[in-house]
């Protein structure tokens, strides 16, 4: 089944970009980044930026932007059955040359999991710092939310 990514959450003050691979089935249904209730992303962001995890979605996005954080996915469209990154086929990537020209204040990229990292490294040849962080997905069950949070706390150094 063909799927498409969401528009980026970004503004001219964004300094870091958090990149996922492509939204999960739950996220696509809700039309929200990281909507699966067991995904640790919003738990981690709430801890790092000191807000309540259960805030309305638009308020959470605005708090990320206020802290210089943009959200996007490396894959623009693909085919995938289910939500697993391993099921992704027929990938079309985002146009990051245009994206970074439009948002020149972004200085580093944090990839949410291995698939986002691998796909971004295939297409990006610039000099920006790129970090691979553990996936916040519930499919990454070998790490607890707290272990994921500890790894993700490095983004504080760049915002």
The size of the chain, in residues, is 159
Is 39 a catalytic site residue?
Answer: yes
Catalytic residue (choose from 13, 39, 105, 114)? 39
Q: In what order do the strands lie in the sheet with 2-4?
A: 2-4, 75-79, 89-93
CA distances from 21 to 52, 121, 124, 126, 149 (A): 25, 12, 14, 19, 19
- Structure-block tokens of residue 51: 């807000």
Could you identify the residue written with the tokens 């972004």?
A: 106
The answer to whether the beta carbons of residues 59 and 34 sit under 8 Å apart is no
As annotated, the active-site residues are 39
């Amino acid at each position: 089944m063909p799927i498409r990514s969401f528009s980026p959450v970004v503004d001219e003050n964004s300094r870091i970009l958090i990149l996922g691979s492509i939204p999960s089935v739950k996220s696509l249904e809700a039309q929200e980044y990281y909507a699966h209730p067991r995904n640790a992303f919003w738990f981690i962001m709430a801890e790092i930026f000191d807000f309540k995890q259960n805030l309305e979605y638009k308020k959470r996005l605005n708090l990320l932007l206020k802290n210089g954080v943009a959200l996007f996915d490396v894959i623009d469209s693909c085919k995938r059955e289910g939500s697993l990154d391993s099921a992704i086929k027929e990938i079309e990537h985002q146009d990051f040359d245009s994206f970074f020209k439009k948002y020149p204040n972004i200085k580093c990229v944090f990839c949410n999991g291995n698939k986002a990292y691998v796909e971004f490294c295939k297409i990006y040849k610039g000099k920006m710092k790129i970090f691979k962080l553990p996936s916040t997905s519930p499919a990454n069950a070998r790490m607890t939310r707290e272990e994921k949070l500890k790894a993700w706390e490095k983004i504080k150094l760049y915002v």
